[in-house]
A and B are shown apart, each in its own frame.
Chain A
């Protein structure tokens, strides 16, 4: 059973703005029956160019319906330029979070929005497709540009994560090597950018603790939870971060490896090079 937030449940059981609009100013479609989910999003603009009405139709699971419903609420009153800035993470955040395996529902929302905005500007759908790049995952029709964008926006590191966010690679798995290449490409770019940054940005202790908490919450916990594990922050002393592994992790023979190679390296990547992770002894 998925761990859906109350907000997801609310938007699933009581979806907002279901239906169609006569003579919409923008229509976007994403997904298909074969993929297992599909979204048709449409909106009407007022005289100031703001979205006055938004409606959706979804074929899909609970979180697909909730994501689409949330999206229609989020874009109301926005200009196209403002709406364009909405990311899939924004949709997930609006819903109080989505299970990682369901993040692709929020991606579908963002993609449909992008298509609807392009449509309202009179852009050719074919041109949009061309801009999106060539199809990498043929099972779910996901393109290289879409995958790269999601990798960048969500700091994805593994094929499994890409599958959770975009579905790409979740069918026949033939495209896994291509996805690995795309990840490697993005990580390469990010490392170069980091190297270019001036070193020695100084954080206050409060900032550091907050960043450690955020990194644990957003980067580390979802991965551990996917394997039935969990982690709890116990204490922070300077650069020493004390944590306790929970669930499957606590009895896992590779828990030390998880701590050092995964938790520590993530914290070093996102917080500071000097972080040392230790397991808090009970």
Chain B
């Protein structure tokens, strides 16, 4: 029996692309200069950052001057939300959703305890927000709306273009966490009128420890990090040159592979989903199938528990993730699936497979081959449902 290594947890993190690593290496070795220095080592570093800024801007259809490098997606989210609020001290209302990543949700909840009024928009069974609810919630006191482009657990894509137009028409600013969207689908900031947008390097085959905050020209913004003049004063701290170079290269590759994400990767995901639903019995997909990231599927397997599934899959070399409470210390299952009203019977057995361009047809065959007996085996151990499910077989 052969064990493959199948990585299907790309919404958690991705492997660093070989081209990315190669682009980075010289900036650890001979080109180690600080771009702010006044000697011959500064120039190559400065030029490399300029190039990377253009590569990122290209992926977002933005102007390079609007790209600010940060240390990660969480920093970008924090800087965006706090930076806007600090620049608009007279406004005290924030709108967000119940399904945001903790990097946004917990910041908003913290601000809610510190003088801000926070509205969390609900989502329906498909994981979609109600634009009418957003319209009714926006008021003159609303400083910022922070809504994700696509959800990390279900892959559900929000109608960001409509949201942006609505938010702007009421004079508020829009921050968009595009950490999961960037690289997986076109993020065209010429047509989507967001003011600020967050990206994380390690979700698109750059390393961990590098992120981007896009700040549209003319946006009210007060920096979170104060210090040197780097990033035009919007984010102080010596530039992380090799990682910035890596992120630039990763964005260039993502741009080149965009078509593949939408076609080949999507086809892999669709096949995985279809075969699991057919063969693993009593499984269901979470999230709006019509508006979803091409690489993500969240599937609930009834009567069994997510951590047990993950451990079994892991022993077979398959990496995935779960919305089950038992995969976290909190004992609280996924806030995203709960917000969507997914019943407890299905929340606990939810598994997220998130693919990338590095996955192959054989990977999908292997996952199905291992997941189906895993579900069957755990259901044999489970006191629930087995009779109904397998009696007829």
Measured CB to CB, the residues of A under 8 A from B are 12-13, 15, 18, 29, 33-34, 36-40, 57-62, 64-65, 101-102, 163, 167, 170-171, 226
CB distance from A162 to the nearest CB of B (A): 12
A40 x B305 contact (CB < 8 A): no
Chain A interface, DSSP helix/strand/loop, else mixed: mixed
Please, which residues of chain A bring their CB within 8 A of the CB of B304?
A: 59
Nearest-CB residue, chain A, relative to B344: A34
B137 in contact (CB, < 8 A) = no
18 more A-B residue pairs beyond the given contacts A36-B325, A59-B383, with a C-beta to C-beta distance below 8 A = A12-B308, A18-B380, A29-B383, A33-B348, A33-B384, A36-B326, A36-B348, A40-B383, A57-B382, A57-B383, A61-B327, A62-B326, A64-B308, A64-B326, A65-B308, A163-B331, A170-B331, A171-B332
Bound complex: CA A102 to CA B311 (Å): 15
A167 x B345 contact (CB < 8 A): no
B344 x A36 contact (CB < 8 A): yes
A58-B381, A62-B307 known; A37-B345 Cβ under 8 A: no
Please, which residues of chain B bring their CB within 8 A of the CB of A15?
A: 381
Please, which residues of chain B bring their CB within 8 A of the CB of A58?
A: 381-383
A36-B348, A37-B326, A65-B381 known; A59-B305 Cβ under 8 A: yes
A37 x B305 contact (CB < 8 A): yes
Please, which residues of chain A bring their CB within 8 A of the CB of B329?
A: 101, 226
B324 in contact (CB, < 8 A) = yes
Please, which residues of chain A bring their CB within 8 A of the CB of B306?
A: 61
Bound complex: CA A18 to CA B386 (Å): 13
B383 x A170 contact (CB < 8 A): no
A36 x B381 contact (CB < 8 A): no
Q: Choose from A29, A40, A61 the contact partner of B307 (Cβ within 8 Å).
A: A61
Q: List 9 A-B contacts (CB under 8 A).
A: A18-B380, A34-B345, A36-B331, A38-B384, A58-B381, A59-B303, A59-B304, A61-B327, A62-B307
A61 x B326 contact (CB < 8 A): yes
Closest 5 CB pairs of A and B: A170-B331, A61-B326, A57-B383, A61-B307, A34-B344
A33-B345, A34-B345, A36-B325 known; A59-B311 Cβ under 8 A: no
Please, which residues of chain B bring their CB within 8 A of the CB of A170?
A: 325, 330-332
B333 in contact (CB, < 8 A) = yes
CB distance from B347 to the nearest CB of A (A): 8
B331 x A171 contact (CB < 8 A): yes
B392 in contact (CB, < 8 A) = no
Complex interface bits, B316-355 against A, C-beta within 8 A gives 1, otherwise 0: 0000000011110111110000000000110010000000
CB distance from B39 to the nearest CB of A (A): 35
A60 x B308 contact (CB < 8 A): yes
B315 in contact (CB, < 8 A) = yes
Bound complex: CA A23 to CA B59 (Å): 67
Please, which residues of chain B bring their CB within 8 A of the CB of A167?
A: 331
Please, which residues of chain A bring their CB within 8 A of the CB of B383?
A: 29, 38-40, 57-59
Bound complex: CA A12 to CA B327 (Å): 15
Q: Choose from A18, A36, A39, A64 the contact partner of B333 (Cβ within 8 Å).
A: A36
Please provide the chain B residues from 291 to 312 with a CB less than 8 Å away from any CB of chain A in the complex.
303-308, 311-312
A60-B305, A64-B305, A170-B330 known; A36-B382 Cβ under 8 A: no
Please, which residues of chain B bring their CB within 8 A of the CB of A40?
A: 383
Bound complex: CA A57 to CA B304 (Å): 11
Nearest-CB residue, chain B, relative to A19: B380
CB distance from B367 to the nearest CB of A (A): 19
Nearest-CB residue, chain B, relative to A15: B381
Please, which residues of chain A bring their CB within 8 A of the CB of B384?
A: 33, 38, 59
Please, which residues of chain B bring their CB within 8 A of the CB of A226?
A: 329
A18-B381, A58-B381, A171-B332 known; A36-B305 Cβ under 8 A: yes
A61 x B382 contact (CB < 8 A): no
Please provide the chain B residues from 180 to 223 with a CB less than 8 Å away from any CB of chain A in the complex.
none
Please, which residues of chain A bring their CB within 8 A of the CB of B307?
A: 61-62
CB distance from A143 to the nearest CB of B (A): 18
Q: Choose from A38, A62, A102, A163 the contact partner of B308 (Cβ within 8 Å).
A: A62
Bound complex: CA A217 to CA B313 (Å): 32
B326 x A60 contact (CB < 8 A): yes
Please, which residues of chain B bring their CB within 8 A of the CB of A64?
A: 305, 308, 326
Bound complex: CA A29 to CA B333 (Å): 22
Bound complex: CA A239 to CA B99 (Å): 53
Please provide the chain B residues from 347 to 393 with a CB less than 8 Å away from any CB of chain A in the complex.
348, 380-384
CB distance from A35 to the nearest CB of B (A): 8
Please, which residues of chain B bring their CB within 8 A of the CB of A13?
A: 311-312, 315
Bound complex: CA A64 to CA B383 (Å): 13
Nearest-CB residue, chain B, relative to A2: B307
Nearest-CB residue, chain B, relative to A99: B329
Nearest-CB residue, chain B, relative to A20: B383
Bound complex: CA A18 to CA B383 (Å): 10
Complex interface bits, B253-280 against A, C-beta within 8 A gives 1, otherwise 0: 0000000000000000000000000000
In this complex, which of A36, A57, A167 has the most chain B Cβ atoms within 10 angstroms of its Cβ?
Answer: A36
CB distance from A279 to the nearest CB of B (A): 28
CB distance from A138 to the nearest CB of B (A): 14
Bound complex: CA A103 to CA B34 (Å): 51
B308 x A61 contact (CB < 8 A): yes
CB distance from A227 to the nearest CB of B (A): 11
CB distance from A174 to the nearest CB of B (A): 14
Please, which residues of chain B bring their CB within 8 A of the CB of A36?
A: 305, 324-326, 331, 333, 344, 348
A57 x B381 contact (CB < 8 A): yes
Please, which residues of chain B bring their CB within 8 A of the CB of A39?
A: 383
